[in-house]
Amino acid sequence: MTIIGFVRHGVTAWNKEGRAQGSTDVPLDEEGIEMAKRVADRLANEKWDIIYTSHLKRASKTAEIIAEKMPSVELVEDPRLREVSGGMVEGTTEAERIEKWGVDWRQLDMGFETQEAIISRGLESIDEIRRKHLGKRVLVVSHGSFIKRMLNELITDPVYETSLDNTSLTIVELTDDKNVCQLFNCTAHLSLETFHKKNSL
């Protein structure tokens, strides 16, 4: 049995503007850094053996902040954990896409990364992590669309198709018989009164 704790990166300016990020290397904004610190404080109170992260800055910075709270835990960068490539739509909002390509833009070939390519690289990485760290608890810091696709492959339950919140924690237990989701899209660390007070000023 291996435990995988999926963490979505902190928020970015493009998240707030509704811009498709994909493989564009958008950094965390100030709030995103604060969110990463919150999830780091939470995870520091738990037992984790190693951290893997996407190489994109918004994920790798989130992972670095988490790793700072776990000085004895190794941090490994794996580009296979990157976000799904959005092709031509990266950097655009829905309104801009409609203006540029029309309301049926989803029917056009926008150069998206194929589902097959996403699943192939993602499961290759997860399988490798599982083999290397059998019986361990592994954090994987990645991206919303990528994590959702991995969950769909690992769990195959429509209840887990909900969009994931920034810095949410989702824990999956991988076994030979059946994979089980122990925790889904949890952001309890962001519910702290002090965090809300700070961000309402």
Annotated binding site: 8-15, 58
**3-state SS class at 59:** helix
Separation of CA 132 from chain center? 21
Helix (H) or strand (E) holding 186, with range, is: strand 180-186
Instruction: Give the active site residues.
Output: 9, 83
Helix (H) or strand (E) holding 60, with range, is: helix 57-68
Joined tokens for residue 45: 């109170």
User: Other CB atoms closer than 10 Å to residue 102's CB: what's the count?
Assistant: 10
| Burial of residue 2 (number of CB atoms within 10 Å: 0-12, 13-18, 19+) | buried
C-alpha to C-alpha distances, 136 to 7, 131, 154, 173, 174, nearest whole angstrom: 17, 10, 17, 10, 10
Annotated binding site for substrate: 8-15, 58
Joined tokens for residue 118: 């996403």
